[in-house]
A and B are shown apart, each in its own frame.
Chain A
Amino acid sequence: MARFLGQTQIVLHAILLLIAFLFVAPLIWMVTTSLKAPEDIINGLGAMRWLPHPATLANFHQVLTNVQEFPVWRWTGNSLFISLATTLLIVVVDSLAAFSYSRLSWKGRDKIFAMLVATMMVPGQVLLIPTYLLIRNLQWFDTYWALIIPAASSAFGVFLLRQFFMTIPKELEEAARLDGCGPLGVFRHVILPLSKPAIATLAIFTFMGTWNAFEGPLIFTNSQEMRTLPIGITIFQGHYNAEYGPLMAAATLAAIPILIAFLMFQKHIIKGISLTGLAGR
């Protein structure tokens, strides 16, 4: 083995493997704790055992059946619907705008674009209080509107797509124009087909960001039915204070869908971060 890998490679792999374990261990611990019986969770040796013995689904049963108090399925549906709707809205709206800012010339375009870029410096938390009042005035409080529309207003997607659209050769556009395409035709037949990777990147990051969003759903909703999964977790936490079996079951339920999505798309996600500098906040 040493001959194939070299000694430094073996040492490096050993270190990286150890660190990789440290990064994944808390998540494994979350899942295994969720499968443990209550007495195993808090008793000396049982608490340190990595594999539940015996494994039980009692914690999940407790979390999933008390739908009166904890509408977990509804929260999952909310998270899914809000994430999909926001993603769709952002992709459509931002790609149209990015097309305009990169490919169409109109008066004031560059000034407006510069303004968009400048507002990317505004920390999201600064917007929470004014947006909350705005949402109340629009009577959107505790509705899906409140969770979708304000989240779709960022300038980042436009910036990202514009940078990509600019790299598409002018000649292709010229050819389409000669064939009688208007701006919409150029957008549909030239820009969109060539921009699938950039649009997919934006879509994946928007989806993950919306699924995990915390402040917005916490502040813009207040009924049990309108909560999302991450906020649902904090509701569990309030009720099962220090009952870690059900808490870890709920945390596992909230984490699994996004973990599966990540593992499915990890190649695109990691490539997307390297290209766009989106570190995943």
Chain B
Amino acid sequence: MSITIKSTSLSSAKPAAVSRAAAPAAAPRRDDRWSGWLFALPHFLLFLVFLLAPTLFGLYLSLHNWHVLAKHHPFVGLANYQSALSDDIFWLALRNTAYFVILAVPAGNLVSLLLALGLAGVKRFATFYKVAFYLPVVISIAVVAVLWQWLFNTQVGLLNLYLDAAVTGLRHLGLPLAPFEPIPWLSNPHMAMPSIALMSIWWGAGGNMILYLAGINNIAPDYYEAATIDGANGWQRFWAITWPLLKPTTLFCLVFSVLGAFQVFGQSYVLYGGASGPGRAALTMVLYMYQQGFSQYEIGYGAAIAYLLFAVVLMLTGIQFWLFSGRKAKD
């Protein structure tokens, strides 16, 4: 390829070599062809072997009956996918995962947004609050889940102790409340996913909060000043200015939250010691993939589950982009 100057965004960094033809170093740009490859090579090799190859290899595995201990791994076409789609436990895992996403993503994003709005309104000590809200994010899910297992303890867990104290206090004040029944946070099938979602929101809300805060800070103060002069109250300013201008941030946060939430695994794995929870209520898609692949050694089946997860995630991401771009066009 000879020297051409394009102004596409991808090649905008290419220097204009033409006017420097008299440069002392003989045609320096021609070296770039080789040095360019050399510079990119270490990463490209890692990328090829540990990202691209496993992605494709996973697809290959999912088309085979691949048991770790077996000598031969016969090609079975789409049989693994068919088994998954007619496997009640797979559907349960998918439902549980979707339930987790529905519980954790909208609520989690709302918490992040509210925290950011609160922080944006505060004139002092903002750093202190930011650090406090972000603190849980830096801790490993293993530590988080072990800690919350203790908070969730039905008899002596902090959550139930305080709820008990609150209910008893309100009863003393004369409110007609029934005596507090300890909540079986983790042992009741109906409570398992809500509990995991609660823990996950606490764990992750700080991350999106910072993104929302950056989005809010990017809004020019002139808009608010003009709206205030026009007599808009706080609520109107939020709906007319903050919310529409935060749409790109919201889309970004939602897409990546959904992507992350569909991969929920450590929460269930640690809280229930690798098992599926009461009545399999904590069985998620990745946990089911893990159990099939690494406990049952059904590698092909596990890979098929992983690919179905991938498909679901891609579809949902597409829907979110479509939803948000469609709305934008209407505005």
Contact = CB atoms under 8 A, between A and B. Distances in A.
Interface string B112-154: 0001001101111101111111111111111100111111010
A239 B123 CA distance: 48
Given A41-B156, A129-B303, A279 B210 contact: yes
A60 interface: no
Interface in A136-189: 149-150, 152-155, 158, 165-166, 170, 173-174, 177-178, 180, 182-184, 187
A4 B34 CA distance: 64
A42 B161 CA distance: 11
Contacts of A182: 25, 28, 31, 35
Contacts of B246: none
B101 interface: no
B195 to A, nearest CB: 14
Contacts of B121: 8, 12
Interface string A121-136: 1111111111111100
A1 interface: no
Contact of A119 (B51, B252, B260, B299): B51
Contacts of B139: 27, 212, 255, 258-259
B127 to A, nearest CB: 8
A147 to B, nearest CB: 12
Interface residues of B, number: 114
Given A125-B286, A153-B47, A233 B143 contact: yes
Interface stretch (A64-72, A98-106, A193-201): A98-106
B306 A126 contact: yes
Contacts of A93: 42-43, 46
A20 B142 contact: no
A230 B143 contact: yes
Given A103-B13, A182-B28, A266-B131, A116 B47 contact: yes
Contacts of B29: 105
A73 interface: no
A85 interface: no
A37 B153 CA distance: 18
A54 B31 CA distance: 71
A112 B41 CA distance: 11
Q: Which label, helix, strand, loop or mixed, suits the secondary structure of the A interface? A: helix
A208 B134 CA distance: 13
Q: With a 10 A CB-CB cut-off, give which of A122, A182, A184 has the most chain B CB atoms.
A: A122
Contacts of B123: 5, 9
Interface residues of A, number: 117
Contact of A27 (B135, B205, B269): B135
A270 B44 CA distance: 30
A259 B132 CA distance: 11
Nearest to B20: A174
B318 to A, nearest CB: 10
A78 B20 CA distance: 52
Contacts of A109: 36, 40
Interface string B218-238: 000000000000000000000
Interface of B: 1, 8, 10-16, 20, 23-25, 28-29, 31-40, 42-44, 46-47, 49-55, 57-58, 61, 115, 118-119, 121-125, 127-143, 146-151, 153, 155-156, 158, 161, 165, 202, 204-208, 210-211, 213-214, 252-253, 256, 259-260, 262-263, 265-266, 269-270, 273, 286, 289-290, 293-294, 299, 302-303, 306-307, 309-310, 313-314, 317
Given A128-B290, A183-B39, A212-B141, 15 more contacts: A13-B125, A24-B132, A24-B135, A114-B10, A125-B309, A127-B54, A130-B58, A153-B47, A170-B15, A184-B35, A233-B140, A236-B146, A266-B127, A277-B211, A281-B207
Interface of A: 5, 8-9, 12-13, 15-16, 19-21, 23-24, 26-27, 29-30, 33, 41-42, 44, 47-48, 92-94, 96-97, 99-107, 109-110, 112-116, 119, 121-134, 149-150, 152-155, 158, 165-166, 170, 173-174, 177-178, 180, 182-184, 187, 208, 211-215, 218-219, 229-231, 233-234, 236-238, 242, 244, 247-248, 250-251, 254-255, 258-259, 261-263, 266-267, 269-270, 273-275, 277, 279-281
